[in-house]
Amino acid sequence: MSLKSERRGIHVDQSELLCKKGCGYYGNPAWQGFCSKCWREEYHKARQKQIQEDWELAERLQREEEEAFASSQSSQGAQSLTFSKFEEKKTNEKTRKVTTVKKFFSASSRVGSKKEIQEAKAPSPSINRQTSIETDRVSKEFIEFLKTFHKTGQEIYKQTKLFLEAMHYKRDLSIEEQSEFTQDFYQNVTERMQTRGKVPPEKVEKIMDQIEKYIMTRLYKYVFCPETTDDEKKDLAIQKRIRALHWVTPQMLCVPVNEEISEVSDMVVKAITDIIEMDSKRVPRDKLACITKCSKHIFNAIKITKNEPASADDFLPTLIYIVLKGNPPRLQSNIQYITRFCNPSRLMTGEDGYYFTNLCCAVAFIEKLDAQSLNLSQEDFDRYMSGQTSPRKQESENWSPDACLGVKQMYKNLDLLSQLNERQERIMSEAKKLEKDLIEWTDGIAKEVQDIVEKYPLEIKPPNQSLAAIDSENVENDKLPPPLQPQVYAG
């Protein structure tokens, strides 16, 4: 099979990474191609539609119940809940959800403020239980950071503590509802600083980074890969998929990276290290930073190989190759965690959002990768996926004189192992065939013997009476002459 440069590359137009609603921000496959803002609008519309349908259903059921009650003329002792009370209950529930976050930022009386401050100071046993060293360090850094903003910093700290307390009572809700609540908190804090606090945009971004670091360090173990979701199942599926694709070569993906160059090889190793390190971070922004560092190493590797700046068409195939080679742990959980709880301004704009969108595209490509994607025949693709064989490695005579001897020996050993694997498979196939032939031969011989026995049956007669010995005891022995005795004659 030829692995020449004519293979079709992976091309993604820049417009395909943008939100499909046309707002100009980066889209995300996890949000069905929308950006964070548009996705929340679509989600809110769908949710309101579902609530409206539930109300209409409840109203119809209530009306049918009242008609059945009136027609039956039953006793007036049992009173059912009227629809007005039901509607009032539903309205209160909707109002409570809508104003949950807004009430944190509304002006309150002194008595109310003191009460809120006391509630904020009251330690939550679930939040403060088994606080790690990292959590204590982040809390101290957050407090020291807010001290420089004086009154604004105190207000931000109070609202952040109230948010954490509210999140404690929302753990029974779905992870999507917790995510929406967190995103609303980000948006309200940002708007409050811009409108009331008159905080400059560059400082707003720094404050939001610190807020995200503080709250997500505390909430990490509760909202990362929760048991109520199928994130863990998706992690195992993508990990198994990447393991099955271990045979994919850079030439198949048209990766413009030459790992024979030592500097390029170091960049590839650093990129793999960064994408693996993403799982060790708690804060979404830190996970995004790992993706950004990985991407910059990829761009440097391409630039060194091609001796010119890398393009977007070169970047995505190389990122796919790095993910396949590194097989990052809990990849889907990390992507979902960033999508749900990262500050949306980072995901919609900037290099962090661009690189994260490309990572989502790379994972989606790996999940749907087939023979056509690699320009292979279906037969070869199936053989490679089943592990029956692997693509031929580069022959030693094709290596450049400056190639590393260790790399040459490695590929030579891999080629030898591939040949030994094929030889072992042939031996096992022949051994099974020999075993089958022996069983068939044994069965054939047994059948022939059985046919002969049935055709020529063997008759076994009883044995004859044995003749009595001549010198045995016999009553007629007395009539015999005496035995001859030797005679000695004198000479």
Q: Which amino acid is at 438?
A: L
Cα 89 to Cα 47, 70, 92, 385: the distances in Å are 18, 24, 5, 57
pLDDT at residue 16 in the model: 61
Question: How far, in Å, CA of 98 to CA of 94, rounded?
Answer: 6
Tell me the three state secondary structure of residue 403.
coil
CB of 411 closer than 8 Å to CB of 43: no
Domain residue limits, the chain: 17-60, 133-221, 229-384, 409-441
Of the candidates 117, 214, 205, 111, which has an alpha carbon nearest to the alpha carbon of residue 164?
214
Q: Going by CATH, does the domain composed of 229-384 fall within 3.40.50.1100?
A: no
Q: What are phi and psi of 437, to 5 degrees?
A: -65, -40
Give the pair of three-digit tokens for residue 382.
């199936």
pLDDT at residue 475 in the model: 57
pLDDT at residue 179 in the model: 94
CB of 323 closer than 8 Å to CB of 218: no
Tens digits of per-residue pLDDT, 418-477? Answer: 778 888 888 998 999 999 999 999 999 999 998 888 888 877 777 665 555 555 555 566
List the alpha helices (DSSP H) in 73-171: 83-105, 110-121, 125-128, 133-147, 150-168
The residues pairing with 468 across neighbouring beta strands, listed in sequence order, are none
Cα 59 to Cα 62, 66, 71, 253: the distances in Å are 5, 10, 18, 58
pLDDT at residue 10 in the model: 62
Tens digits of per-residue pLDDT, 293-333? Answer: 999 999 999 999 999 888 888 999 999 999 999 999 999 99
Pairs from 118-123 (Cβ < 8 Å, separation ≥ 24): 119/162, 119/165, 120/158, 120/161, 120/162, 120/165
Cα 255 to Cα 58, 140, 298, 374: the distances in Å are 58, 45, 11, 12
The residues pairing with 18 across neighbouring beta strands, listed in sequence order, are 26
Q: Taking each helix axis from N to C terminus, what angle separates 331-341 and 175-195, rounded to the nearest 10 degrees? A: 40
pLDDT at residue 355 in the model: 95
Tell me the three state secondary structure of residue 18.
strand
CB of 346 closer than 8 Å to CB of 42: no
Q: Any idea which residue has 């990276």 for tokens?
A: 257
Q: What is the CATH number of domain 133-221?
A: 1.10.246.120
CB of 26 closer than 8 Å to CB of 353: yes
pLDDT at residue 260 in the model: 87
- Give pTM, 2 decimals: 0.60
Q: pLDDT below 70 — which residues of the chain?
A: 1-18, 20, 23-37, 39-40, 43-44, 46-48, 50-51, 54-55, 58-59, 61-62, 65-66, 68-131, 392-403, 463-479, 490-491
Give the pair of three-digit tokens for residue 244.
């099955």
Cα 450 to Cα 445, 447, 453: the distances in Å are 9, 5, 5
pLDDT at residue 72 in the model: 62
CB of 270 closer than 8 Å to CB of 329: no
